[in-house]
Structure 1
Amino acid sequence: MTEDNTVPQLGQIVRITKGREQNQYAVVINILDDRFVSLADGEKRKYDRPKRKNVNHIAGTPFISSEVRNSLLETNRVSNGKLRFAIAKYASEVVTDLERGDEHDV
């Protein structure tokens, strides 16, 4: 990942930095190997058709959705609604922090 050079985790919200979906957010739903992950956002990229993405083309955020992570670990599946909810929750927190004047990489 470009910002903190760590391996992404299940349920982590990431910002796509390269490609057609640049500057959009997605959730890591599978770690394929040390170089590739599967991403989905529950809207354009559904759980059953995730995007395979190089970790060098995404930027991690400090937000890891516990609901998504627990669902993936327990059942190996997650609903598209949970993915959309996790991204919306992260987006609302970032917007709230920016309105207060806190600086974040967005």
Structure 2
Amino acid sequence: MCEEIRVQLLGQMVRIKQGREAGQYAIIIGVIDDQFVLLADGEKRKTNRPKKKNLHHVEMVDYISPEVQNSLLETGRVTNGKLRFAITTFKVQVVTDLKKGDLHDGER
């Protein structure tokens, strides 16, 4: 996987499609290879024990947390509090808008 794509994935919000945590949101905090990423949410899945997940088992959400991405690129790590804040902000801004009648893909 080229470095540019790897950097673009850091801080990417995803919705888990399969497994015990299906339906929950998490953030990509690391990229292993073309197929696997490391996910954390700062609550149940902390940064010190991220979940290794197949990219086919997650749904990419059109939202990248700039705070998380900048922290990962500058220091190589991110705090659990920052992850919780980013997920909460995403849920308030995007998920509540979706519940008002908009579908995720822009159709009505």
Over the aligned positions, Cα root-mean-square deviation in angstroms equals 1.8
How many residues are matched?
100
Structure 2 residue runs of 5 or longer lacking an equivalent are: none
CA distance in 1, matches of 2:62, 2:56: 17
Q: Which residue of 2 aligns with 1:90?
A: 90
Cα deviation for residue 99 of structure 1 reads: 4.7
- TM-score, normalised on structure 2? 0.86
Q: Deviations over 1:6-52 (max 9, x none)?
A: 98710011000000000000000001000000000000000010000
Q: Deviations over 1:56-99 (max 9, x none)?
A: 00000000000000000000010000100111111111233135
Alignment of 1:27-66 (within 5 A): 27-66=27-66
CA distance in 2, matches of 1:44, 1:76: 21
Greater percentage in helix: 2
CA distance in 1, matches of 2:64, 2:73: 14
Alignment of 1:2-81 (within 5 A): 9-81=9-81
Moved more, 6-15 or 83-92: 6-15
- TM-score, normalised on structure 1? 0.87
CA distance in 2, matches of 1:33, 1:88: 28
CA distance in 2, matches of 1:50, 1:38: 6
Would you identify which runs of 4 or more consecutive aligned residues in structure 1 move more than 6 Å?
none
